[in-house]
Amino acid sequence: MSCSLEVGSAKITFNMIKNKIVPEFFNSPTYGKLNWSQTLSKMVYFMGRDTKGCYEIIIGTDSEAQNGKSDFVSAVIVHKKGKGGVYFWGRQKIANLHSIRQRIWQEAFISLALAEKVVSDFATMGLFNSDQLDDSGRINLEIHVDIGPNGETRSMISEIVGMIRANGFKVATKPASWGASNVADRHV
């Protein structure tokens, strides 16, 4: 995949940042600090406790800027419909993203890379075919973006939503994007 975006004089290239885009460690209120493979194992364990259950995997990222550095927090939530869930969050700091537009695009890129990693790793484990994400109706993956019809981000909705949908993922915006605007936001 090769995706790039020019924002003012800055050019953001998805291939350029994909390798560094996923946080190295994740935290969980339930399990503590985990690396990615441990996080993945805990997600599979949670879903494996009831193999007949219907699950949603929600991925969202939120950020906050201070003194030229942006703090990005990504959340991966495994929600068993009607029965609760478990979540994991990871943090990374990125410098030189000065506008809200640059930060929102970065949030979307991080969430997209994380979703691709989950799909790829689950497909490798044989949990589902990555070309048919939710045909079974048992696992539904959705990216939540922290943009909505009010405020500065309203002009970005069609661009961000279009990019995520073009990569084969469902997307939710405010007020339905609780994975980004509530869960990830709690840890920024």
Structural domain spans, the chain: 23-186
**92-148 pLDDT per residue, tens:** 999 988 899 999 999 999 999 999 999 999 989 887 655 545 444 456 899 999 999
Tell me what pLDDT residue 105 has.
Answer: 96
Four-residue CA torsion sign, 73, 176, 131, 108: negative
The encoded tokens of residue 117 equal: 């990693």
Q: What pTM was computed for the model?
A: 0.85
Q: What is the pLDDT of residue 138?
A: 53
Block residue for tokens 């539904």: 140
Could you tell me what percent of the chain has a pLDDT over 70?
83
Helix residue ranges per DSSP H, 4-155: 14-21, 36-48, 100-124
